[in-house]
Amino acid sequence: MKRVFSGIQPTNILHIGNYLGAIKNWIELQDKYSCIFSVVDLHAMTVKTDPKTFGDNILMMAKTYLAFGIDPKKSLIFRQSEVPAHTELTWILNTIAKISELERMTQFKDKAKQHKENVNMGLFGYPVLMASDILLYDTNLVPVGEDQVQHIELTRTLAERFNRLYGETFVLPEPMVKKHGARIMGLDDPSKKMSKSSPNAGNYIALLDDPAVASKKIMRAVTDSGSEIKSGANKPALTNLLVIYSLLSGKDIKDIEKEYAGKGYADFKKGLAEVVSGFLSGFQKKFNVIKDSDVRDILADGEKKANEIAERKMRDVKTKIGLTF
């Protein structure tokens, strides 16, 4: 069975872009592949975290996976920080990663601009830690949103380089990016992706937004000129809203366009607000009944198994390098 690996940073706000670009696709993969989903808490530390809330955010992230239907009987769920091999392999890959390669990463350039006061080594080396996450588990496929593809390409470069230097060790992973939903745009600005680091809460629909608040955000979302409900390159704001509508309702974009033919933006937004609130209430109902103690048990079990796989890989890596005698 092919291996799938993916992860999300446990920042406090997870938005529908994270769901539509990533988690939604993970659920469908569980029956076909051997799946591993990590809460990548060490990655979250590349921007400032608060010790008072960090632990809760990590727990909430794992709970979010479960509420969406990641099934611990089928998939492995674990915290990155509980598997020391991730940081160990990162050091080794750091010695073959080139500074010029990391400087080209667009996420680094964006985040360095956003957090000018805290451009730390971790932020710079972030993609190397991500490469370690993926390579430790002989991953074939990495289901992510479009913004992560460059990191997976770097992962392949590092794996190829290591294999060339030390002999065949790592599997080369492929990104798995869906045609629709891989880049959900901000509600306040359709030229930028929906982002949890946006200073404007109107940019995103958070998964834990009160459905009434989310509806207001939809009603206030930026639209394009004209009044027709139609997707297309000249209507980036509406196209984004149509993609969200389609993915959350399961209806085809063409059918939604037909449904709203002759109606205006306000009617369409009202319909979308209903779809979004229904989705949020359904998710939140499931999220709220999952017990913290169950999440802890599931993580402990996942961490035991992840450590076994990762330690085996590290032994191979160390032997190949000649760190053993």
Closest residue to ligand TYM in the complex (CB): 21
Alpha-carbon 154 to chain mean position: 17
* Interaction mask 125-144, ligand TYM, x per CB under 6 A: -----x--xx-------x-x
CB atoms within 10 A of CB 195: 20
Tell me if 112 sits within 8 A of 104, measured CB to CB: no
Length of the chain counted residue by residue: 325
Of 6-14, 45-53, 281-289, 300-308: span binding ligand TYM (CB under 6 A): 6-14
Q: Which of residues 37-56 bind ligand TYM (CB under 6 A)?
A: 40, 43
Residue 89 CB, shortest distance to ligand TYM, in Å, is: 12
Only segment of 16-24, 109-117, 269-277, 287-295 that touches ligand TYM (CB under 6 A): 16-24
Shortest CB 263 distance to ligand TYM, Å:
27
Task: Provide, rounded to whole angstroms, the least separation between the CB of residue 218 and ligand TYM.
Answer: 16
Judge contact between 189 and 237, C-beta under 8 A: no
- Rounded Cα distance between 241 and 227, Å, is 14
Q: Does 310 bind ligand TYM (CB under 6 A)?
A: no
Least spacing, CB of residue 64 vs ligand TYM, in Å? 11
Q: Does 183 bind ligand TYM (CB under 6 A)?
A: yes
Please count the residues of this chain forming the interface with ligand TYM, following the rule CB under 6 A. 26
Instruction: Please indicate whether residue 193 is annotated as part of the active site.
Output: yes
Active site residues: 111, 193, 196
Site residues (vs ligand TYM, CB under 6 A): 5-9, 17-18, 20-22, 40, 43, 130, 133-134, 142, 144-145, 147-148, 151, 182-184, 193-194
